[in-house]
Amino acid sequence: MNYQFTIIVPVYNEEDNLLRVEKELLAYTQIATKTTKILFVNDGSKDKSQALIEAICSRHDAFDYILFKENRGLSAAIKAGFDYTTTELVGYIDSDLQTAPEDFNLLLAHIGEFDLVTGVRSNRKDSFVKNMSSKIANGIRRAFTKDGMDDTGCPLKVIKTDYAKRIPMFKGLHRFLPAMIMLQNGTTKQITVQHFPRVAGEAKFGVWNRLLGPLMDCFAYLWMKKKYINYEVAKKK
C-alpha cells in the first residue's frame, strides 16, 4: 500500500495498554483521511510489551516496530521514529491513549498549509498537581522560545516528514518540537483535541521532571537556537 502518514507510538512498559492501542489504532486506519501505518518504538521495555507488539504486527500489515537494546527515553524513541519514517507525513501518540487517534484527522485537515500541527488538550483529565506542573512548565518554555504554543506536551502531533528529519533531537527536546520547526522557518498551528484519564499502566513523568527538566532544556534550546544551521538552496545543477 502507498502509505501517506506514519503514526509513531513510543512504548515503555505498557503491556496493559497495547491491546487497546491495537484496537483503537486499527479502527483509526479505517477512517483516516490519509492512508496510515503504525510504527511502535519499544524503548527497552522490561515487561511483556515486546511480545505483544510482535503479535500485533504479525496480525496487521500496517503495523511495524523498532526495538531498542536499552531504555533511551521518549525523545530518543520519537527521533528513531522520525529516522525510520518513509511517508510524507509523520505523527505520534502516546501508548497510554489519553488522546484519541480519531483526532489526528483534525490535525491532518491543516497540515497542507502548516509544517507542524499540534493538539491542545481540552478539559485535561489529570490530577491537579500534574495539571499545574504542566501549566508552569509550558509557561517557562513559552517565555524562552516565544513559540506561542499552549501545550507542547500534548502527545498528538502531525509534522511534514522532511521537517521532522531535520530536527536535531536531544534528550528532552520532544517538548520543543514546534520551536524546532520554527527554527527551520516552518509554520505551526495548534488545534483543540480530546483528553482522557489514563486507564492502565503508570505515568512515566513526575512533578520534578515536568518542572526541572523543561527548565534545563530551555537553556539547551537557547544554545541550539544560537548555533542552529539553516539554509535554502537557490540553485543547483
Contact predicate 143/173, CB 8 Å: no
Q: Looking at residue 61, what is its pLDDT?
A: 96
- Give residue 205's pLDDT: 52
Q: Angle, nearest 10°, between helix axes 207-227 and 128-145? A: 10
pLDDT average per 10 residues of sequence, the chain (237 residues): 96 95 97 98 97 98 97 93 97 92 97 95 61 64 68 88 89 83 92 78 55 71 78 84
Q: What is the pLDDT of residue 26?
A: 98
In this prediction, residue 69 carries a pLDDT of 95
- 3-class DSSP string for the chain: CCCCEEEEEEECCCCCCHHHHHHHHHHHHHHCCCCEEEEEEECCCCCCHHHHHHHHHHHCCCEEEEECCCCCCHHHHHHHHHHHCCCCEEEEECCCCCCCHHHHHHHHCCCCCCCEEEEEECCCCCCHHHHHHHHHHHHHHHHHHCCCCCCCCCCEEEEEHHHHCCCCCCCCHHHHHHHHHHHCCCCEEEEEECCCCCCCCCCCCCHHHHHHHHHHHHHHHHHHHHHCCCCCCCCCC
Q: Is the pTM of this model over 0.85?
A: no
Q: Is the CB of residue 73 less than 8 Å from the CB of residue 64?
A: no
Question: Could you tell me the domains of the chain?
Answer: 5-227 (3.90.550.10)
Residue 155: the pLDDT is: 85
Task: Tell me if residue 225 falls in helix, strand or coil.
Answer: helix
